[in-house]
């Protein structure tokens, strides 16, 4: 849930930036059909961008899995924590503030869904009670109440009074909504509003989309031969109709003065459409800031492994999993509490030793006196219920194998790659891959934006000797 809320926050930021640029550049222009697609593109791109994954090649040692976040996202993630503070507990500490945020979000989401379903229910009831006829190839549904005309499905919902007095103008207006599939825009908007209800800009966006629909329909009515002054007078006369359907473009629900001013406005020049090009750098910026980052690290042979996808983490995230390193090498120590023998697993990788493991039985201590062994003696072990069950080279050759603890050889594991050159651990330039069994504790330690499931895969078998 934390990861999903963070996703909606990123999406909301993208939408807010797009909305503000829209207001600044093209809101008052008269190319309404293009404006419609710009508004839809803002919503759809806001949904897609946080799910994108950028593969980046680090150019220096301090480039890590995540680029620096904006300050407001860092503040948010302090409430929605990425990982527990302690690296010696098997369970993440309870975060009451984070739980409260989840409850508030779910409450708002539930309310929006209820309101949306209720709006649909009311339209269905009204539609079922209406008298339906065909008129000039269109489907009309006569409603008894004094409700502003609107579209529902392929039907135009209109009162008999409005039909008798101003039928042709109103039907022409509503026909534009039908032919342009404006209802599709409203469905997307309402779903997005339910997901990001806390963002004030999404409410403004919904109003902007509905208003632009009315601009487009008004222009179509005037273009088909109706006198602008007569049609504008009709808008004023019908302004008393009831407006109560959030899933409909009702005939007079948008400010009448604004619609009349837009109808009287001079057509925008074609050059004004070039302003849309400013959205391209905005999208690029949003991708850079809010897309997920994945570092592509080269293996010992200098080639990128394109057959397998490994997870890269930054230094703080690696330390939270139990890894430590010095100029002497990379080290790992874990009390395997999930095993009956309660043995301790010690791993080290140095210049002189490509890979080595030490299994300490309960109560046993390291007896060696080499530099790695001295460091492992002082290193405090973690008590996590996960640890590497295999270590491979970047190209998949196993260097250490503890897979006897696996239920079967096809069990899917989480591969975490570590480039020793980036850590400045010893003088090695190769990349090692540590294969962890996926547990709930490990999942909680990973950043919320990491989709760990996408990385799960069986540990590779060593190729046969030739």
Reported in sequence order, the residue ranges of 95-245 that DSSP labels E, i.e. its strands, are 131-135, 138-143, 150-152, 155-159
Q: Is the pLDDT confidence value at 181 over 90?
A: no
If phi over 0 gives left and psi between -120 and 50 gives alpha, with beta otherwise, what is residue 78?
A: alpha
Q: Give the pLDDT score at 299.
A: 42
pLDDT digits (tens, 9 = 90+) for 57-82: 544 333 333 334 444 454 444 444 44
**Mean pLDDT confidence for 100-127:** 90
Torsion angle of C-alpha atoms 47, 50, 55, 60, degrees rounded to 10: 150
Let me know: does 217 contact 173? Beta carbons within 8 Å.
Answer: yes
Round to whole Å and give the CA distance between 179 and 51.
Answer: 33
Helix ranges (H only) for 61-159 are: 71-79, 96-129
If phi over 0 gives left and psi between -120 and 50 gives alpha, with beta otherwise, what is residue 347?
A: beta
pLDDT digits (tens, 9 = 90+) for 194-239: 999 999 999 999 999 999 988 888 888 888 878 888 788 777 766 5
Q: Is the pLDDT confidence value at 438 over 60?
A: yes
Structure tokens at 54: 């950028």
> Roughly how many angstroms between the first and final C-alpha of the chain, as a whole number?
49
Sequence length of the chain is 466
Q: What percent of the chain has pLDDT above 90?
A: 27
Q: Give the pLDDT score at 458.
A: 87
Q: Give the pLDDT score at 330.
A: 93
Q: Give the pLDDT score at 196.
A: 94
Name the band, by pLDDT with cuts 50, 70 and 90, for residue 462: low
Q: Give the pLDDT score at 300.
A: 39
Q: Give the pLDDT score at 417.
A: 93
Handedness of CA 394, 317, 12, 193 (dihedral sign): positive
Q: Give the pLDDT score at 403.
A: 60
Q: Give the pLDDT score at 55.
A: 64
- The larger pLDDT score, comparing residue 241 to residue 165, is at 165
Round to whole Å and give the CA distance between 155 and 406.
Answer: 61
Round to whole Å and give the CA distance between 136 and 174.
Answer: 14
Round to whole Å and give the CA distance between 295 and 56.
Answer: 5
Q: Is the pLDDT confidence value at 243 over 60?
A: no
Structure tokens at 303: 């080639």
Q: Give the pLDDT score at 418.
A: 92
- The larger pLDDT score, comparing residue 400 to residue 70, is at 400
Q: Is the pLDDT confidence value at 35 over 70?
A: yes
Let me know: does 393 contact 300? Beta carbons within 8 Å.
Answer: yes
- The larger pLDDT score, comparing residue 337 to residue 264, is at 264
Distances (CA, A) of 310 to 30, 206, 316, 395, 415: 50, 40, 18, 11, 5
Give the closest residue to 405 by CA, choosing from 390, 384, 383, 416: 390
Mean pLDDT rounded to a whole number for the chain? 80
Give the closest residue to 295 by CA, choosing from 459, 440, 438, 450: 450
Round to whole Å and give the CA distance between 448 and 112.
Answer: 25
Round to whole Å and give the CA distance between 194 and 140.
Answer: 31
pLDDT digits (tens, 9 = 90+) for 281-331: 999 999 988 887 655 544 434 343 445 688 989 888 999 999 999 888 999
Q: Give the pLDDT score at 254.
A: 61
3-state SS, residue 411? coil
pLDDT digits (tens, 9 = 90+) for 356-397: 888 888 888 888 778 888 899 889 999 898 999 889 888 777
Distances (CA, A) of 459 to 397, 426, 433: 10, 26, 10
- Quick one: DSSP state of residue 132? E
């Amino acid at each position: 849930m934390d990861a999903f809320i963070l996703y909606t926050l990123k999406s909301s930021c993208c939408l807010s930036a797009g909305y503000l640029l829209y207001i600044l550049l093209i809101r008052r222009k008269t190319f309404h059909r293009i404006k419609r697609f710009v508004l839809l593109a803002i919503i759809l791109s806001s949904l897609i961008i946080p799910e994108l994954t950028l593969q980046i090649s680090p150019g220096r040692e301090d480039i890590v899995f995540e680029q620096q976040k904006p300050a407001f996202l860092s503040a948010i993630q302090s409430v929605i924590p990425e990982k527990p503070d302690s690296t010696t507990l098997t369970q993440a500490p309870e975060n009451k503030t984070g739980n409260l945020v989840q409850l508030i979000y779910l409450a708002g989401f539930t309310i929006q869904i209820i309101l949306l379903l209720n709006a649909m229910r009311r339209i269905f009831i009204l539609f079922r009670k209406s008298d339906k006829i065909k008129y000039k190839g269109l489907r009309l549904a006569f409603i008894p109440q004094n409700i502003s005309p609107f579209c529902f499905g392929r039907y135009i919902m209109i009162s008999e009074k409005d039909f008798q007095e101003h039928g042709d103008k109103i039907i022409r207006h509503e026909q534009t909504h039908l032919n342009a599939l404006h209802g599709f825009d409203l469905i997307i908007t309402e779903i997005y509003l339910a997901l990001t209800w806390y963002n004030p800009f999404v409410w403004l966006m919904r109003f902007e989309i509905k208003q632009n629909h009315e601009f487009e329909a008004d222009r179509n009515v005037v273009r088909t031969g109706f006198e602008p002054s007569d049609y504008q007078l009709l808008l004023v006369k019908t302004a008393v109709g009831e407006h109560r359907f959030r899933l409909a473009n009702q005939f007079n629900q948008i400010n009448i003065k604004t619609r009349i001013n837009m109808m009287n406005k001079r057509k925008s020049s074609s050059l004004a459409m070039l302003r849309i090009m400013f959205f391209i750098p905005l999208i690029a910026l949003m991708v850079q800031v809010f897309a997920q980052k994945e570092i592509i690290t080269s293996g010992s042979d200098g080639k990128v492994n394109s057959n397998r996808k490994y997870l890269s983490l930054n230094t703080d995230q690696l330390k939270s999993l139990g890894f430590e390193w010095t100029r002497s090498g990379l080290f790992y120590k874990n009390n395997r509490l999930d095993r009956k023998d309660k043995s301790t697993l010690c791993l080290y990788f140095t210049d002189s030793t490509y890979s080595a493991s030490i299994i300490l039985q309960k109560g046993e201590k390291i007896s060696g006196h080499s530099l790695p062994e001295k460091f492992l003696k002082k290193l405090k072990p973690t008590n996590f219920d996960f640890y590497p069950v295999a270590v491979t080279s970047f190209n998949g050759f196993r260097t250490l194998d503890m897979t006897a603890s696996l239920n079967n050889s096809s069990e899917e594991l989480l591969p975490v790659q570590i480039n020793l050159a980036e850590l400045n651990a010893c003088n090695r330039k190769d990349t090692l891959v540590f294969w962890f069994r996926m547990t709930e504790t490990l999942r909680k330690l990973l950043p919320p934006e990491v989709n760990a499931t996408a990385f799960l895969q069986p540990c590779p078998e060593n190729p046969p000797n030739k």
